[in-house]
Structure 1
């Protein structure tokens, strides 16, 4: 009687961009992916190898200001709609430019990508503690997760389409240093799903990280090492749950 062999699962991990410790994030994500011996991962800094993405069973991205050309954005949209699952982390939805007024802004230069992701990053207040609450306690991704406090970048975003919000936070105040800096009181997604076609995007805004050299060329030296939500066991729990969700394509959008 022949031994049953589990099927290989192909992952693409994209980690790169500006102002973050991508070496740290890349290694932590690879360690989590390596917990399942079926998963074989190809690693890139950007979306240029669209053939690898098309062949992947799932996609994980941890980027900042990495925007593919339009034809690649179209391919990503089609891949998701055809059943792909994309676990997008932290700055994947960012477009950052330093404006003439000395403030950072978020040009709306990639509407198709942001429509696929479900949001576009606009600003964040200075890094400080904030509370994350559970918007849907019955979903498998958040079942049993309790409200928690994190010290991280609180993402203030522009929404695109219908989002199934799983975790959220509240904010009112100033996003210092950003062009769009005044924010009225509102709830903001922290973890959400955007189903589309036969696939879906799962977005987790948490997980800022930065080392001493990661603000170059703007600054030669950043004085402290920031790990933010990476210091919390609940964040690793959410990462593991998200990876499990991404591997399970047969369940479609949710």
Structure 2
């Protein structure tokens, strides 16, 4: 029996989300396996030194941008055979100008490893998610899942393997990339093989408290927990954490 602890790195921080709530939820779930030991950081600073000591990576960020050097270190680490569970807004970099939101570039090495770059989302509203691979262990039995969340509309890298998709067509007038009138499936969860490693990206998981929109606004009137209280989403997160922390690589 392998009694070696599995050492994970959680990057959790940024803007416009309740990172304290999500960080606690994730650590509570990870603590159910006493062989897992976590290091928690708010951004990609020092990632070059932290990754070699990490067996797996989890990220829940928004507008947290790696440098080119940090992105290359991430890419190399995944390519070497490691797993990365990316949640919600990990692929986002934003510039707010009045009521206009522009998605900013991210390092190519980061986007290549992650498999996508955020461009836009419609207002939070319920939408139905279906399994693109119903027999895959990460989504088996989920069937049709209705979530109230931000539907991320992204620039996608070729070769991603969608596991969950939805259909949505329309415009997102607050965003610079506003025309989404095509009718193709919108991936909300996918796998991205990267070298000998793999990234599982679950774009669901919005959470926001009263004080998380500062300095844009001092007090947000409602606490948004998105899908975090929904059993179907909780199952997806549990499976994602199990997948990323497995002892096998890739």
Instruction: Give the TM-score of the pair, scaled to structure 2.
Output: 0.96
> Please, which of 135, 138, 141 is the counterpart of residue 138 of structure 2?
141
> Please, which of 64, 67, 81 is the counterpart of residue 66 of structure 1?
64
SS, match of residue 150 in structure 1: strand
Q: For residues 232 and 86 of structure 1, what CA distance do their matches in structure 2 show?
A: 23
> Please, which of 194, 199, 202 is the counterpart of residue 201 of structure 1?
199
> Please, which of 124, 143, 146 is the counterpart of residue 127 of structure 1?
124
Q: For residues 115 and 247 of structure 2, what CA distance do their matches in structure 1 show?
A: 19
Task: Give the drift of 1:110.
Answer: 2.3
Task: Give the drift of 1:249.
Answer: 5.1
Task: Give the drift of 1:161.
Answer: 2.6
> Please, which of 81, 84, 87 is the counterpart of residue 82 of structure 2?
84
Q: Give every structure 1 segment of 4 or more consecutive aligned residues whose post-TM-superposition deviation is greater than 4 Å.
A: none
Task: Give the drift of 1:168.
Answer: 0.5
Structure 1 residue 98 corresponds to structure 2 residue 96: yes
Unaligned stretches of 5+ residues in structure 2: none
The answer to whether the Cα contact below 8 Å between 1:134 and 1:166 also exists between their aligned partners in 2 is yes
The answer to whether the Cα contact below 8 Å between 2:5 and 2:35 also exists between their aligned partners in 1 is yes
The answer to whether the Cα contact below 8 Å between 1:13 and 1:42 also exists between their aligned partners in 2 is yes
Unaligned stretches of 5+ residues in structure 1: none
The answer to whether the Cα contact below 8 Å between 2:83 and 2:249 also exists between their aligned partners in 1 is no
What's the CA shift string for 1:187-243, capped at 9, x where partnerless? 111110001111011000000000000000110000000001102111111111111
The answer to whether the Cα contact below 8 Å between 2:106 and 2:117 also exists between their aligned partners in 1 is no
Q: For residues 53 and 205 of structure 2, what CA distance do their matches in structure 1 show?
A: 27
Task: Give the drift of 1:111.
Answer: 2.4
SS, match of residue 201 in structure 2: strand
Moved more, 179-188 or 127-136: 179-188
Q: For residues 17 and 196 of structure 1, what CA distance do their matches in structure 2 show?
A: 25
Task: Give the drift of 1:83.
Answer: 0.8
SS, match of residue 184 in structure 2: strand
What's the CA shift string for 1:147-190, capped at 9, x where partnerless? 11111001101001311110011110121311111212221111
Q: CA RMSD in A?
A: 1.3
Instruction: Give the TM-score of the pair, scaled to structure 1.
Output: 0.94
> Please, which of 14, 17, 27 is the counterpart of residue 17 of structure 1?
14
- Match in the other structure for 1:154: 151
